[in-house]
Amino acid sequence: MRDTEFNAGAWLVHRHVCDGRGDRVAVRRGAVTLTYAELEDLVGTVTAALRALGLRRDDRVLFVANDDIPLFAGILAAFCGGFVAVPVSTMLGANELGQIIADSGAAVVVASTEYAPQVQQAVAAAPELRHLVCDGDTVLAAPAGVTSWTWAELVAAGKREPQQWREPAVTGEDVWALWLYTSGTTGSPKGAMHRHANIRYVCETYGRQVLGIRPDDVCFSIAKLFFAYGIGNSMFFPLSVGASTVLEPRRPTPAVTAERMAADKPTLFFGVPTFYAALLGSDLPDDTFVSVRLGTSAGEPLPTPLQQNFTRRFGVEIIDGIGSTEALHIFVSNRPGEVRPGTTGRPVPGYDIELRDGTGARVADGEPGALYVRGESIALGYWRRAGASRTVFAGEWLNTGDTYVRSPDGFYTCMGRSNDLLKAGGIWVSPAEVESRLLEHPAVAEVAVVGVTDAYGLDKPVACVVARGEVTAEELVQWCRDGLAAFKRPRQVVFVDVLPKTATGKLQRFRVRELVTDLATDQQSTVVQGAGG
């Protein structure tokens, strides 16, 4: 039985033109703007060009590109053509990038000029690649059998093709549209396969019922388009209602953000905790975010002090939430006007949440459990990773790899990744809770709490601190004693200049553990050795 016809690209772009909204601004990129009619024309041209390259249904088009017009239009053209868009991180080295290109079986790679060295090295190991496109003015050197194009040449070729080649393909809801590579919960990068219908679903759930996104909104996201969080923020949500999106190809900094705020007046701002901390630590004027009606945060728990201090200074409410690449976007979130600081909020309408123990049984309120989610945006599985798929995708449910606690009135609080939760004195301790307390101290800029095994084989909470002023380890331990149960206090405090993070700004706890192990001995004069459990 054939599934229901639906093409995400046509729904996001062509629908608005057909309904008379073609003159609305869809994309802002510096001084360049594209209306929905202009975006439809460009997407149709690129769709025709991809077809002219000989691409067939379900062929993969992989992007290693900055947030700019070619990436934005290219992803939408892949949807419209019935191909599969595969945007990947621009932070990857040549070896890992080559593995992903080969694993995906990409027929086309679209790259930004600044990533040419690693892309050219990576495509040498991609046997199914047929075309290499550069979004700049220079044709990239390509292996034998691979045709190299500039973006301008690709667009020009598309303009020469017949009108019928520009039209969106008739695709079903269950047809592949988007693959997003993630290390997920099981190690090496794997492609999470998303259907066309998944894109509409996240718009109708989180986009409409949590953000309350409107046609007059202007969206600006710190997370880039190659992230699940970023592509929802910058493409799916604004285009779902005929709103505008702001693209910024440069690396996000407080200064760049201030530029976009002044020039584009975003109303929705999408960040991550690390970047909110950078903004709070900057010298930006307090009215920088005057146009913003709501901020969102995801990627890792948003500490209460950071959330409250940002709102107090800049006047913007932040709603924290949790999503994943496998679920495409956020499925548990606080709501505007109903924020409970320190929690991730309540389930987004349309998603079911369960917390389970090691046997798979549901846990009682107040007890930690593994977070499982069920909803129509869950990926079909991982490409060519049957074992990993069986571990993470359990029937209709997705095992997120996070540990949570549910309050009696339905709010969920993150206790960390399932392998981050630790026991001290035989009692569970959440690193996030201790971190939140330490961040309330005025001399603490950043902190990570990890469990480190002592000489007796027992895990002890250790705090790795980036200080913003003079403070001793003894003071910070006492600070925790004063605000938390005594067993939750860090047994050691190690001071560092910077915490290890991923390209997305997420904390790398495994590297923090390595760092703490290396530094603890060297900092005996500034490390507190706590007695007992």
CB 345 within 8 A of CB 320: yes
Q: Which of 112, 138, 172 is the last residue of a domain?
A: 172
Q: What is the pLDDT of residue 424?
A: 65
CB under 8 Å to 340, separation ≥6 — which residues? 334, 411
Q: Report d(CA 339, CA 484) in Å as an integer.
A: 22
- The structure's pTM equals 0.84
Domain of 281, CATH number, reads 3.40.50.12780
Q: How many CB atoms lie within 10 A of CB 360?
A: 10
The number of C-alpha atoms within 13 Å of 358 and in the hemisphere containing its C-beta is: 2
Q: What is the pLDDT of residue 92?
A: 84
Q: Report d(CA 393, CA 184) in Å as an integer.
A: 12
Nearest in space to 443 (alpha carbons), one of 480, 473, 474, 469: 469
Beta bridge partners of 5: 172
Q: Are 109 and 206 in a shared domain?
A: no
Q: What is the pLDDT of residue 455?
A: 59
Question: Residue 57 in 3-state DSSP?
Answer: coil
Domain of 141, CATH number, reads 3.40.50.980
Q: Are 216 and 306 in a shared domain?
A: yes
- Please give the residue range of the domain that contains residue 80: 8-172
In a domain, 532, yes or no: no
Q: Report d(CA 239, CA 232) in Å as an integer.
A: 10
CB 369 within 8 A of CB 404: yes
Q: Are 459 and 521 in a shared domain?
A: yes
Q: What is the pLDDT of residue 374?
A: 98
CB 343 within 8 A of CB 413: yes
Q: Report d(CA 523, CA 109) in Å as an integer.
A: 48
Inter-axis angle of helices 36-52 and 151-159, to 10 degrees? 90
Q: Are 405 and 428 in a shared domain?
A: no
The residue length of the chain stands at: 533
Return the structure tokens found at 281: 């630590």
Q: Are 370 and 281 in a shared domain?
A: yes
Return the structure tokens found at 268: 């929705």
Q: Are 398 and 435 in a shared domain?
A: no
Q: Report d(CA 293, CA 359) in Å as an integer.
A: 44
Q: How many domains does the chain have?
A: 3
CB 245 within 8 A of CB 219: yes
DSSP secondary structure letter of residue 182: E
515: amino acid identity, one letter = L
Burial zone of 427 (CB within 10 Å; 0-12 exposed, 13-18 middle, 19+ buried) = exposed
The secondary structure element, H or E, covering residue 244 is strand 244-246
Bridge-based pairing of strands 369-374 and 352-356 is antiparallel
In a domain, 234, yes or no: yes
175 Rama sector, left if φ>0, alpha if ψ -120 to 50, beta otherwise: beta
Residues 302, 304, 310, 312, Cα dihedral to 10°:
160
Q: Are 220 and 135 in a shared domain?
A: no
207 CA to centre of own chain: 15
CB 308 within 8 A of CB 287: no
Q: What is the pLDDT of residue 531?
A: 29
Q: Which of 145, 172, 199 is the last residue of a domain?
A: 172
**Dihedral of CA 411/415/416/418: which sign?**
negative
Residue with tokens 């209709």: 396
Q: Are 383 and 251 in a shared domain?
A: yes
In a domain, 183, yes or no: no
Q: How many CB atoms lie within 10 A of CB 285?
A: 11
Domain of 495, CATH number, reads 3.30.300.30
Return the structure tokens found at 2: 């054939």
User: Which regions in the chain score pLDDT beneath 70?
Assistant: 1-2, 183-188, 418-419, 421, 423-428, 454-459, 503-504, 519-533
Nearest in space to 62 (alpha carbons), one of 118, 129, 127, 109: 109
